[in-house]
Structure 1
Amino acid sequence: MTVNVTKTGGHTAEITWTKDDDLQGRIARAVESDQLAYALTALGQRVLHGTPDEVLATAKHTTALARLLERRAADQVVQLHDIHGLSWRRIATVLLDDPEKHSSIRRMYETGRRNSGI
């Protein structure tokens, strides 16, 4: 992994990456738009605090980042199966902690293929 998250002490961390890590600029956009900050806020707080507009903004950014991550996960399933030759059961065991959920992995695979136009 070339993106680095370094705990700098207490409750602080530093994220570093290179242009090669982010060829499409997704990481940069997530940071610059505060999308990552909003999503991390939602990750850390079960109940969000703030005005309705602030909570709505947090939900908006969290949902957008979650959709992007779901798409990237589906793309990775395609790579795991097509490029690395892993079985549905093995992928399901690692990604979903259940080898019986191979049909869910196949659905992710089909989504990943559609995402890439295959």
Structure 2
Amino acid sequence: MSVTVTKTSGRTAQITWTADDDLQGYLDRAVESDQLADALQSLGQPVLHGTPDQILTQAQHTATLARLLERRAASQVVQLRDIHGLSWRKIAAAILDAPEKQSSVRRMYESGRRQSGSITGGTYGGENRGIEGGTFHGDVHMPATDQ
């Protein structure tokens, strides 16, 4: 992974990535549209300040990134199970910090499979989708925003 976050000093950081790290432009869009900044501000400040429209935009940006990250997490659960053969218990322990929550991880898995297209018989269907040669090929669509 060549995405790096480097703390440069105090409360300053630099984020770098390559074009190969962001094939669908999600990182570029998150930075350029202030989605990332708004989500990080929301993370750091439980009570936001500003006009209702500013707070609404911050909430929209935070929710948009949260949905995208939830989809990515579901995709990763599919990869952990189907490619690497990890047990539900081990995945639940890592993802949810609760090995007994295997049914929650299974729901994430099913969500990840649905995102990748029509699935039957434990394999992915469709062109340029699914698991081929140990690589996961799936799309996660990030909705466009007004910003």
TM-score, length-scaled by structure 2: 0.79
- Gaps (5+ residues) in structure 1? none
Identify, as 1 or 2, the structure richer in strand: 2
SS at match of 2:107: helix
Q: Which residue of 1 aligns with 2:103?
A: 103
State the 1:2 CA deviation: 1.5
Provide the rounded CA distance (Å) in 1 between the counterparts of 2:86 and 2:115: 20
- 1:84 maps onto 2:69 in alignment: no
CA RMSD of aligned residues (A): 0.6
- Gaps (5+ residues) in structure 2? 120-147
- How many corresponding residue pairs? 118
| Amino-acid identity (%) | 74
Q: Which residue of 2 aligns with 1:113?
A: 113
Q: Aligned partner of 1:45: which letter?
A: Q
State the 1:44 CA deviation: 0.7
Identify, as 1 or 2, the structure richer in helix: 1
1:28-52 CA-partner distances (Å, limit 9, x unpaired): 1111111101101101101001111
Q: Aligned partner of 2:114: which letter?
A: R
Q: Aligned partner of 1:67: which letter?
A: R
State the 1:5 CA deviation: 0.3
1:73-107 CA-partner distances (Å, limit 9, x unpaired): 00000000000000000000011111110000000
